[in-house]
Chain A
Amino acid sequence: MSPTPMLQLESLTTTFPGERGPVPVVDDLSLTLTRGEVLALVGESGCGKSVTALSILRLVPRPGRIERGRVLFGGRDLRTLPVAQMRAVRGAEIAMIFQEPMTSLNPVLGVGAQVVEAIALHQPLPRQAAWQHAQQLLALTGIPDPVGRMRNYPHQLSGGMKQRVMIAMAIATRPALLIADEPTTALDVTIQAQILELLRELRQQLGTAVLLITHDLGVVNELADRVAVMYAGRMVELGPREQVLSEPRHPYTQGLLRAMPARARRGQRLTEIPGVVPAPQHWPAGCRFATRCPLAQALCHEVVPATTALSPTHEVACHAVARADWPMPRAGSQRLSLPHGPGAGPSGPSGPAGPAGPAGPSRSPRSLQQAERGAASDARPAQAGPAAAAALGRETGAPLLRVEELRTWFPIRSGMLQRSVGWIKAVDGVDLICPAGRTVALVGESGCGKTTVGRSILGLERARAGRVYFDGVDLLALSPRQLLPYRRALQIVFQDPMASLDPRMRARDIVAEGMISFRIGANDRERTERVAELMRRVQLDPDQMGRYPHEFSGGQRQRLCIARALAVGPRLLICDEATSALDVSIQAQILNLLRQLQDELQLSFLFITHDLGVVRYLADRIAVMYLGQVVEEGSTERIFEAPQHPYTRALLAAIPAIDPARRQARARVRGDVPSPARPPPGCRFHPRCSEAQARCPIEAPPLFPWADGRSRCFLAAQPPHGGPAADQPVRSTSDGRGSAPPGRTLVVRAKLAVEGGARPLDLEPAGTLFERPRKQRAPLRLLAQRHMNVAQLREHLRASHLLLAGGELEQERA
């Protein structure tokens, strides 16, 4: 890293008009980026990260404008550069990729044309040459079959592919600086790992500096050299990655790190940052974090803290850090815990006014307790630790919910009469057990069918087959009338609290609606009392029950959703990505609330999520889903410590590390999830599996019992030679491969979707490819599995989408 500053922001201030004059969304921000480094800009939503990035390129949407400051880049001030020159900088010297690859590409232009445009705008190349250059760029970003993909439209590509196209456009003219605005936020974790790896590789190959904007500290750790933390338009901490992540000094940075469930120990309350990031027009004078800060003193509310340099590279804007006489234990390490508890209750301007401490069950009026069947919490000592509760649950853990062989298929209709010509097997044989009073997590990437499982259990989606036993009664066999009492016992909380609340209903009516349906409460007055009680329980101010959903913040809305679900006294709460749309500090608040409710009300949770950090913190058991099936299931410890299924391992490997000593996110699976309309034969994971054996594409593995759970992989089955029983630790990868039968070499002529490269390539399950084709339809030397003849090889390559359309496979010689 050379010390030459390449980009220098000096007192950058970007404003948006407000009711009382312009509001600085980015306020007096100074920042330096040196050649080739990766600087991460971190903060929760609404902190001005994206506006900072857009200000650099002068792309701030109207009516926002850059009020003051300089953006020095290559000796010029971009802020005052003539428009034509600015256009020459955009894309050529500074390129940008965005969060939403789905909407950031022009839907009606071909992918190739869009990459070509990025080239042609800055390099006068003949059309043919630009087209070829674009192909090379797509190949460089790891898109299989770049030649064919050039003519595709964006909607024909998966999310990960689209982000690769965005990256290809961005690096088209080898920019010196790449601004990546949440480049992986919209992607699944395994795809995120692939993109992070790509960005890492490109940075090494091209030496591009990256301004990485993200809210995910894991992604920061994986990619960044330095970290700048933003809060409410100002930079609060800046320093090298290791220091900021391991020894954060600003209370906001500390709070962000502590709120991450992945860092917390199970059973421990997450340390929340109380309240929410206020809207820009309500940003306080003085230190903007003061309203949420556990260390704040009178001074903080009045005086803007100056930047203190802790070392030449590490600076913090905080009075507590600057003043040695600050009344607090000096937080040298983030492990040194700061005082928290009742004193750290929410005090933000729009935060709930109630105390953060647990709402004691003894305060509940009788009506509430009646509705909360099985409210054993009264009998338990209030101080009973979660560990004790867990032990209790383990012993009495009779399954409250048992799902067997659940199948929910959606018809694919086609032709003149719209007959169903096939099925999208969204859920295809799912087994699940949910013990009473426990949390089971259903984990998987988008499209795996986890949401459909939740909806099918509730009867919101009609299951085609299977049984859903609740308390021993098969819900799927009940008539709608018979089902009614069970609807009360099973409730759901959705991902998007704004979309799932009726915008024209007041909070009170939203919460009370279920009570009316189930005739809870004798009259309106009683129900209103109960609504107030529920709102207190989810730590909302009952005085706000007359408000409409839009008057609440995102976290408060999710509390309202929880109150609505609790209103009818459920025993099982299905949380479908209930915290995924929330910022990490708000997520911590909701997770704490859910845990507390579970303890108090003996609720069972089915937690549907893609976020393994949340799962590790919250769940007792985990079921991992892939393409409509549960591929592995077991206790949280077992899944995290000894995952058996290669997919589970890939998922775990893909999580960005938050330990600054390690960078671990590795893409262990190739490509995208196949369509559930045509799941691969045999084991559904085999085309992406790095450990597939000869039998995997032919035989579908059942769920083998393994340790305290089950795994749908032959690797988890009893070893063939009577080796140690199933309780042995995880077998290494090579063991699995060693048992594969030796192959024979087939020389074939085919057109394959494989990436270029030097190493031999596994073409699971067909065999190993020694030389990669330089030309299309060139003969390939393939070490095929012994049992396969050319016809089978062709079939398998086609099933795994490796054989390209129109590329027939013919044998040259054996």
Chain B
Amino acid sequence: MLTYVVRRLLHGCVVVLGVLLFLFLLFFTLTDPDDIARRALGEKALPAVIAQWKANHGYDRPLWPWRGGRDSMLVEHYRRMLTFDFGRSDTDDAPIVDRLRHGVGPSLALTVPMFVIGLLLSIVLALFVAFFRETYIDRMGVLLAVLAMSLSVLLYIIGAQYVIGKLLRWFPISGFDADPRVAWRFLALPVLVGVAASLGGDVRFYRTVFVEETGRDYVRTARAKGCGEGRIMWVHVLRNAMIPILTHVVLAVPFLFTGSLLLESFFGIPGLGSLTVDAINGNDFSTLRTMVYLGSLLFVGGQILTDISYALVDPRVRLS
């Protein structure tokens, strides 16, 4: 188990180093640092100001180690990323670490409830539908699920903002507050939209897993033993179905930290999702590369977590 995790971590390191190289090529060889500076300072900035800005950000150094040795931008890029020294934003010189620190709270406040409620609700609904498989309840369930997943997320967002926020005035349309006693009012609507948007697809997927499991030989054995249908669903089917479901879910866990691009920007939540969107809009390369780098770290972590969770729920899987 331990050797397996270590081996996977080493594999992960290779992936992350590769991602960093790719990022470097993308941001610094395909783009001219002068452009970055001009975007940050404005089109009419004087050459001297631009040179100064580049020097401040270290963008004036030679790109490759065989030109500039340890002083080259590539070495600097790796050094900074690997030591988590993310530097300052290209647009307003604010330390990126502070931004991350401020953004992660609101992001988690949005994604964790969305994830937990969505998971429980979709599993319960899927079990319910699968229990009545091949009846009208099942057919209606699948139909609704397909309908729900066919609608765009944007429709959910705009619809909820209009109906619940504007017409019914139950919750504010957008905004955020650091005070948790107030914040839940702001979060309710995006959480609701997030859950609703993913519910259709999830219920359909989980139902498929459950129905597939109910057709297996061991379920027939359980029935022949005299098990009731409820016990079959909760004890026999659920545990086996958890194997594909859990691994599907665990992979998503690390990305709770990166927040939700769409929901955060539409509902004005100052989380990491908004941070990323802002960075894209503002050509903030430093912030963007930090987010991509963290994303790749989380992805590698998620993969390992998935494998471990496989081994935990499925006794047949041994990690070696």
Chain A residues proximal to chain B, CB less than 8 Å:
57, 59, 61-63, 87-92, 95-96, 98, 100, 103-109, 117-118, 121-122, 153, 155, 166, 169, 414-416
Contacts and interface: CB of A to CB of B under 8 A. Distances in A.
Given A59-B220, A153-B315, A109 B239 contact: yes
Interface stretch (B46-54, B146-154, B222-230, B263-271): B222-230
A91 B240 contact: no
Contacts of B320: 414
B225 A108 contact: no
17 contacts: A61-B220, A90-B224, A91-B224, A92-B226, A95-B224, A98-B220, A103-B218, A104-B221, A105-B221, A106-B218, A106-B221, A106-B239, A108-B243, A108-B313, A117-B227, A117-B235, A414-B320
B226 A88 contact: yes
A91 B218 contact: no
A605 B3 CA distance: 47
A105 B239 CA distance: 13
B134 interface: yes
Nearest to A121: B226
A81 to B, nearest CB: 13
A155 B10 CA distance: 30
B315 A155 contact: yes
A112 to B, nearest CB: 13
Interface in B137-187: none
The 7 closest A-B pairs by CB, nearest first: A91-B226, A91-B225, A103-B217, A90-B226, A153-B315, A96-B224, A106-B218
B225 A90 contact: yes
Contacts of B224: 57, 59, 90-91, 95-96, 98
Interface string B224-249: 11111000000110011001000000
A416 B226 contact: no
B13 interface: no
Contacts of A59: 220, 223-224
Interface residues of B, number: 28
A107 B236 CA distance: 9
Interface of B: 3, 6-7, 10, 134, 215-218, 220-228, 235-236, 239-240, 243, 313-316, 320
Nearest to B224: A96
A100 B217 contact: yes
Contact of A106 (B134, B240, B243): B240
B134 A62 contact: yes
A590 to B, nearest CB: 29
Contacts of B225: 90-91, 95, 117-118, 121, 169
B221 A108 contact: no
B79 to A, nearest CB: 27
Nearest to B226: A91
Contacts of B218: 103-107
Given A87-B226, A87-B228, A98 B221 contact: yes
A103 B216 contact: yes
Contacts of A415: 3
B228 A153 contact: no
A523 B222 CA distance: 59
Nearest to A153: B315
Nearest to A59: B223
B240 A108 contact: yes
Nearest to A413: B320
A111 to B, nearest CB: 11
B316 A104 contact: no
A355 B225 CA distance: 50
Given A106-B218, A109-B239, A90 B223 contact: yes
User: In terms of DSSP, what is the predominant structure of the interface of chain A?
Assistant: loop
Contact of B240 (A62, A87, A107, A117): A107
A122 B217 contact: no
Nearest to B133: A62
Contacts of B215: 61
A474 B217 CA distance: 47
B250 to A, nearest CB: 17
Contacts of B217: 98, 100, 103-104
Nearest to B320: A414
Contacts of B228: 87
A98 B320 CA distance: 33
Q: Tell which of B225, B236, B320 has the most Cβ of chain A within 10 Å.
A: B225
B299 to A, nearest CB: 22
Contacts of A100: 217
Contacts of B222: 106, 117
Contacts of A155: 315-316
B3 A416 contact: yes
Contacts of B313: 108
A105 B225 CA distance: 11
Nearest to A155: B316
A416 B7 contact: yes
A104 B220 contact: yes
Contact of B316 (A88, A107, A166): A107
B315 A107 contact: yes
Nearest to A418: B7
A38 B97 CA distance: 77
A109 B134 CA distance: 27
A718 to B, nearest CB: 48
A90 B228 CA distance: 10
A108 B239 contact: yes
Contacts of A98: 217, 220-221, 224
A414 B243 CA distance: 24
A327 B249 CA distance: 72
A96 B220 CA distance: 10
Nearest to B222: A106
A705 B68 CA distance: 78
Contacts of B216: 103
Max chain B CB contacts within 10 Å: which of A63, A88, A98, A104?
A104
Nearest to A152: B315
A91 B221 CA distance: 9
Contact of A121 (B6, B227, B240, B315): B227
A106 B226 contact: no
Q: Most A CB atoms within 10 A — which of B6, B223, B313?
A: B223
A693 to B, nearest CB: 38
A117 B221 CA distance: 11
A103 B134 CA distance: 24
Which of A88, A90, A106: most chain B Cβ within 10 A?
A: A106
B315 A108 contact: yes
Contacts of B223: 57, 59, 90
A414 B236 CA distance: 33
Contacts of B314: 107-108
Contacts of A92: 226
Contacts of B243: 108
Contacts of A63: 134
A122 B6 contact: no
A62 B133 CA distance: 10
Nearest to A173: B226
Contacts of B221: 96, 98, 104-106, 166, 169
Contacts of B226: 87-92, 121-122
Contacts of B3: 415-416
Nearest to B238: A108
Contacts of B239: 106, 108-109
Nearest to A414: B320
A100 B220 CA distance: 12
B20 to A, nearest CB: 24
A105 to B, nearest CB: 6
B213 to A, nearest CB: 10
A105 B221 CA distance: 7
Contacts of B227: 87, 91, 117, 121
Most chain-B CB neighbours within 10 Å: which of A61, A121, A166?
A121
Nearest to B315: A153
A121 B236 CA distance: 14
Given A91-B227, A121-B227, 6 more contacts: A103-B218, A104-B218, A107-B314, A108-B240, A117-B222, A416-B7
A118 B216 CA distance: 18
B225 to A, nearest CB: 4
